[in-house]
Structure 1
Amino acid sequence: MKDESVLIRYIKKKKGLLTVSGILATISTVVQFIPFYSIYKIIELLMIGDYSASGMIHWSLVSMGSVLAGVILLYASSMCSHVAAFDILYEIRMDILQHLSKVSMGYFTRKSSGQLMKIIDQCVEKMESFIAHQIPDIVSALIFPLVYIGLMLKIDWRLGLMSLVPLFLAVGIYSYLMGNTMKNNKVKQYHDALEAMNSNGVEYVRAMPAVKVFGLSVGNFKRFHQSIKDYRNLVMDWSNGFRSGYVLFTTLITSVVLFVMPFGAFLISQSPQDKTLSLTVMMFIILASGTTGPFMKLMYAASTFSNVNEGVKRVDEIFAEAPVIEKETTTNFSGNGISFEEVSFAYTKGNPVLKKVSFELQPNTMNALVGPSGGGKSTIAQLLLRFYDPTEGAIKIGGTDIREVTIDTLMRDVSFVFQDVTLFNDTIAANIRMGNKNASLEEVRWAAQLARCDEFIQALENGYDTMIGEQGVFLSKGEAQRISIARALLKNSPILVLDEATAYADAENEVYIQQAISELVKGKTVLIIAHRLWTIQHVDQILVCDKGEIQAAGTHDELLVSNPLYQKLWTINEETKDWEVK
């Protein structure tokens, strides 16, 4: 049995509000016929010679009252659908973000941030719009034709059939157009083109410094430029394919009166003395003029649904991505020693990144991971954090496989200071407090002081309440790195992973960061991913990683004697220390 789509699941949660919305929309639709009937009755009074004010006033009040009642009912229906839609919008987005936090990091290498932002923003927004606006419209638009057809056929089946001819022709043409759209996968192509343009647009904006420096234009970014052209060509082709048919559809849907009037005139000419027939023809002419809006709504809802449905499929694909398997257990680690046991891993099948990697990090020791770029160093760190699971082997902390504990337990016991720091558009205090959301301001300041960032924070106008980002200040990479170290200090996990924490620091900031790291590593098992070998020459153990394997392990002095690759890396590092621009 096929799983329900995300839209159906969330609509079911709000079925009470949406049911009330549908009922109110139905009543509102039925009430819409009363003004037409009132006009018919007024014309009838005039034709029989009854010019009394009481009759005119009565039907005028009935007409105005029904219009007011219809507006009120439609407003109430819209309010119910909007409340349900906004709740669903919130729940879907929160559930998507919650789910994305549990999937493997490999998913984010297949999906660009532009694609995901388009799905979370535009696709979910269209679902909200569909529920808030189209569901009441669909109910109203479905009820109106049924009441209209039944009423017309009951009053005069001949005129009723004639008034339905253009409507059925219009519906047939529109169905043909939509059938071609679905057959040619135009909606899917549209979403694919939009995602490609968004994804390449995000890349273009991120590369704006290079764009400015080298005087590039959008044309130099061939993928972005091509994605814009592809989107334009698709939309133009789609619009051109719709053009002739849509003109004919619009002409037919708005010309019901043109079908009714000649036929009505013919019937009247056959019975010129029949005043009832004349009134009936007048009634059909009045009602025919009000058919365009509801039928256009129905057709618009149909086209919107196909567009929304494609967006729903993409949201479903996110939820279909299996989360990292997490056991429901209360198991905790019994120590902070780390061991990799015959660990192999590949991002894509057949291209191994790690091959049978084995090593041990003793509790409360300083360890470094060095080697050429692309050798697998960062992958080892990411596996330790369960960003991915190994394809073979096991990773253990304190003798317990990290897959045997919850992600929360693992994240509680492991801190990670990334090379690329992410700071959120929030206060500095809130960014540091990410390490411990319950920390007091005094504890936040304590961590900042140890991380050597209290001084520059206090110099800011609002201190720890200073906003970071567009509405506040922008920190240098060195300052941001010290903020991230303050986070890790506040978290105080027994295991710490440092991914080239001084990579972007200038000389002054590097000194501060090294001082902060000295405070951070006390009493912890530490794994440092390093390229500047002089920063790790005094650690307890150095692991040399190359081509997905651990080539050697030992102290700095031991490896200088025994390992050619380490000797080469150290020589290069020593030479670069003395480089200068002449």
Structure 2
Amino acid sequence: MFKILQRIIGITGRFKGRIRASYITSFIKGVMMKAPLILCYLAISSFMQNTMTKDKCIYYGLALLACLALQGVFEYITNMLMSAAGYMVFADIRLKLGDHLRKLPMGYFTEGNIGKISSVLSTDMLFIEENCMGVLAEIVSFMISQGLMVVMMFVMDYRMGIMALIIVGAFLIVGNYMLRTSMKHSVVKQEVSEDLTDEVIDFAEGIGIIKTYNLLGEKSKRLTDEFETSCREAIGFEKAYSPCARALYLTYGIGTSIMLALSGYLYSIGIFTPEYMVGMVFFLFDLFISIKAYYGHMPRLTVTSASLDRIDEVFAAEELKDLGTKELPAAGNSGSVDLAGDVSEIEYDNVSFGYTQKDVLKDVSFKIKAGEMTALVGPSGGGKSTIASLLARFWDIKDGHIRVRGEDIRDVSLGSLMDSISMVFQRVYLFQDTVYNNIAIARPDATREEVEEAAKKARCYDFIMQLPDGFDTVIGEGGASLSGGEKQRISIARCILKDTPIVILDEATASVDADNERAIQEAISELCKNKTLLVIAHRLKTIADADQILVVSDGEIVERGTHAELMDKKGTYAHMVSLQAS
């Protein structure tokens, strides 16, 4: 239990001082809650001893009002220190997690971890923030209060103190059993929550395909099964915890009864005075209330521990190392020169790469001169997208070197590398923001005139101006309120605004309608002027003028050359062209 509390305190970072200060204010609040009982005991004792006066009654009344006022004040201070700190702690943790996620290789997001990330952000962090941080000070206060209660029993009589210690020991035995039971089920409960989140995301993202192929029954069953599993585990958690909770309440009831019986015995033999006996009755039900409340928070703390494990697991994912200190030479100042004296803008030198244990690329080598277009073609799954992604360091290669203007990209800072590369994907994602901000994200310091000029070159200015608020129109998340072709042109406008010397192009017209294809081709032509291009080609007619065509299959370059050279070879490329022409 102490280890869990230490873990929680350990994540508070720069707010540790506030958290520790809240222990004091929470304890004072607890004392103010008990003070009225002490005042009542003193008042009754005065009556029993015939020493009560008018002035004493006034003093006791004023003291009661003061206790209530101080209780409210210290509760407010505790909430300000603890609850507010909890939200600020997790604001920092979320920012830290966001910074960590952006440094992870893209492979982490393609290995089934989206559900884990979503669950950590929406379930684990939220649970700790709302259910644990606010009661942390109270839990510490409970421990202090229980210790003081035991000391008070020793002050009254050593036999009372010894019996109180024995009963506290019984609470510890029950509590440790509760801890083990709750911890085991808490881990499973949070894992089930992650599986459910993953299934909900999968169902929502694939709803179009599910409906198209009439798979609602099958997919809904999987989702329903996950909900039932989650429900079953939640009920199982309660069933496993219920006997522990009953044992806790029985220990409290039996312990309180024993202390009452012992007090009565000590009174009967003349050890306790009538006033002591009255005081004991007043405090009887508060003797073990602190340790009972302490263990009553056990489920929250064990779920918190399981949640912290899952948060730590995401933070433990290895980041893509950004140890490069060099800056890329300016475009046109390449230091990579081949035997013929030609300058290479991009060079792949015996590059090998694999996801986990699976090899995807094997000894891939090629060069691209500045201002030239190289096209990657071949069957799906052959490695084309991986080759392009490695240039942007979405992953790090296993063996070999990738150089830009003579510099190994691992020796170059990621910021410098990405300042030289723009990417246009088939699948476009736009943020839930204004059209203007979705374009300006490429270069935040751009003027409005530059953003609008980029939109004109990308052939999207006209349809933007027809939107309700023009460039200030807020579009739905993912660009849901725009057509596929419109989203694609906005993404091209981004790249035009960024104006980098290297462009990676996953052929943007592969999945758009004929009406949009011409506009997108014109936009791409604007984007690609005087650029070094690495193009993943799907429609082979669009890369007939490429300076170099690489046919990629099973992670290897099986053919290379110009369109004419490859057609003369009558190999894989020529066969692909004939299939598309037929």
Partner of 1:348: 356
Using the TM superposition, name which of 425-434 and 172-181 deviates more.
172-181
Query: Which SS does the other structure have where 2:286 is aligned?
Result: coil
Structure 1 gap ranges (5+):
576-582
* Contact 1:78/1:132, CA 8 A, preserved across alignment: no
Partner of 2:339: none
Partner of 2:241: 242
Query: Alpha-carbon deviation of 1:219?
Result: 5.3
Matches within 5 A, 1:131-210: 132-162=133-163, 167-182=168-183, 185-210=184-209
Question: Is it true that 1:501 corresponds to 2:501 in the alignment?
Answer: no
Using the TM superposition, name which of 461-470 and 334-343 deviates more.
334-343
Partner of 1:418: 425
**Change beyond 3 A, Cα 1:347–1:65:** same
Query: Which SS does the other structure have where 1:435 is aligned?
Result: coil
Count of residues paired in the alignment: 566
Question: Is it true that 1:514 corresponds to 2:513 in the alignment?
Answer: no
* Contact 1:432/1:483, CA 8 A, preserved across alignment: yes
In the alignment, the residues of structure 2 paired with residue 542 and residue 441 of structure 1 have an alpha-carbon distance, to the nearest angstrom, of 38
**Change beyond 3 A, Cα 1:18–1:472:** same
Partner of 1:312: 308
What is the RMSD computed on CA atoms of the aligned residues?
A: 2.5
Partner of 1:258: 257
Query: Which SS does the other structure have where 1:360 is aligned?
Result: strand
Question: Is it true that 1:62 corresponds to 2:63 in the alignment?
Answer: yes
In the alignment, the residues of structure 1 paired with residue 93 and residue 443 of structure 2 have an alpha-carbon distance, to the nearest angstrom, of 27
**Change beyond 3 A, Cα 1:6–1:407:** farther
Q: Which of the numbers 515, 523, 527 marks the counterpart of 2:530?
A: 523
Q: Under a length normalisation based on structure 1, what TM-score does the superposition of the two structures give?
A: 0.91
In the alignment, the residues of structure 1 paired with residue 562 and residue 7 of structure 2 have an alpha-carbon distance, to the nearest angstrom, of 55
Structure 2 gap ranges (5+):
335-343
Matches within 5 A, 1:395-474: 395-469=402-476, 474=481
Query: Alpha-carbon deviation of 1:127?
Result: 3.5
Using the TM superposition, name which of 108-117 and 356-365 deviates more.
108-117
Using the TM superposition, name which of 554-563 and 251-260 deviates more.
251-260
Using the TM superposition, name which of 313-322 and 501-510 deviates more.
313-322
Q: Under a length normalisation based on structure 2, what TM-score does the superposition of the two structures give?
A: 0.91
* Contact 1:552/1:563, CA 8 A, preserved across alignment: no
* Contact 2:425/2:508, CA 8 A, preserved across alignment: yes
**Change beyond 3 A, Cα 1:5–1:371:** farther
Q: Which amino acid aligns with 1:462?
A: D
In the alignment, the residues of structure 1 paired with residue 367 and residue 422 of structure 2 have an alpha-carbon distance, to the nearest angstrom, of 18
Residue deviations 1:504-528 (CA, integer Å, cap 9, x gap): 2100111110000000000100111
Partner of 2:100: 99
Query: Which SS does the other structure have where 1:227 is aligned?
Result: helix
In the alignment, the residues of structure 2 paired with residue 251 and residue 413 of structure 1 have an alpha-carbon distance, to the nearest angstrom, of 70
Question: Is it true that 1:322 corresponds to 2:300 in the alignment?
Answer: no
Matches within 5 A, 1:8-27: 10-27=11-28
Query: Alpha-carbon deviation of 1:319?
Result: 2.3
Residue deviations 1:346-400 (CA, integer Å, cap 9, x gap): 1121x21111111111110122111111110000011111011111111111111
Q: Which amino acid aligns with 2:240?
A: G
Question: Is it true that 1:282 corresponds to 2:278 in the alignment?
Answer: yes
Q: Which of the numbers 394, 401, 404 marks the counterpart of 2:401?
A: 394
Partner of 2:338: none
Residue deviations 1:447-485 (CA, integer Å, cap 9, x gap): 000000000000011000000116997111111010000
Query: Alpha-carbon deviation of 1:194?
Result: 1.1
- Percent of pairs identical after alignment? 32
Query: Which SS does the other structure have where 1:497 is aligned?
Result: strand
Q: Which of the numbers 540, 555, 566 marks the counterpart of 1:533?
A: 540
* Contact 2:189/2:234, CA 8 A, preserved across alignment: yes
**Change beyond 3 A, Cα 1:240–1:176:** same
* Contact 1:466/1:473, CA 8 A, preserved across alignment: no
Partner of 2:337: none
* Contact 1:477/1:505, CA 8 A, preserved across alignment: yes
Query: Alpha-carbon deviation of 1:569?
Result: 0.8
**Change beyond 3 A, Cα 1:374–1:212:** closer
In the alignment, the residues of structure 2 paired with residue 6 and residue 506 of structure 1 have an alpha-carbon distance, to the nearest angstrom, of 55
Query: Alpha-carbon deviation of 1:8?
Result: 5.1
Using the TM superposition, name which of 422-431 and 280-289 deviates more.
280-289
Query: Alpha-carbon deviation of 1:256?
Result: 5.2
In the alignment, the residues of structure 1 paired with residue 156 and residue 287 of structure 2 have an alpha-carbon distance, to the nearest angstrom, of 17
Query: Which SS does the other structure have where 2:488 is aligned?
Result: helix
Query: Alpha-carbon deviation of 1:186?
Result: 2.4
Residue deviations 1:507-564 (CA, integer Å, cap 9, x gap): 0111110000000000100111111111111222211111111111122122111142
Partner of 2:32: 31
* Contact 2:178/2:298, CA 8 A, preserved across alignment: no
In the alignment, the residues of structure 1 paired with residue 162 and residue 10 of structure 2 have an alpha-carbon distance, to the nearest angstrom, of 41
In the alignment, the residues of structure 1 paired with residue 540 and residue 376 of structure 2 have an alpha-carbon distance, to the nearest angstrom, of 10
**Change beyond 3 A, Cα 1:341–1:223:** farther
In the alignment, the residues of structure 2 paired with residue 205 and residue 486 of structure 1 have an alpha-carbon distance, to the nearest angstrom, of 29
Partner of 2:391: 384
Partner of 1:122: 123
Query: Which SS does the other structure have where 2:104 is aligned?
Result: coil
Using the TM superposition, name which of 332-341 and 534-543 deviates more.
332-341
Residue deviations 1:225-278 (CA, integer Å, cap 9, x gap): 44333333333333222222312312433565533444434444444xx8x622
Query: Which SS does the other structure have where 2:534 is aligned?
Result: strand
In the alignment, the residues of structure 2 paired with residue 505 and residue 5 of structure 1 have an alpha-carbon distance, to the nearest angstrom, of 56
* Contact 1:467/1:473, CA 8 A, preserved across alignment: no
**Change beyond 3 A, Cα 1:395–1:8:** farther
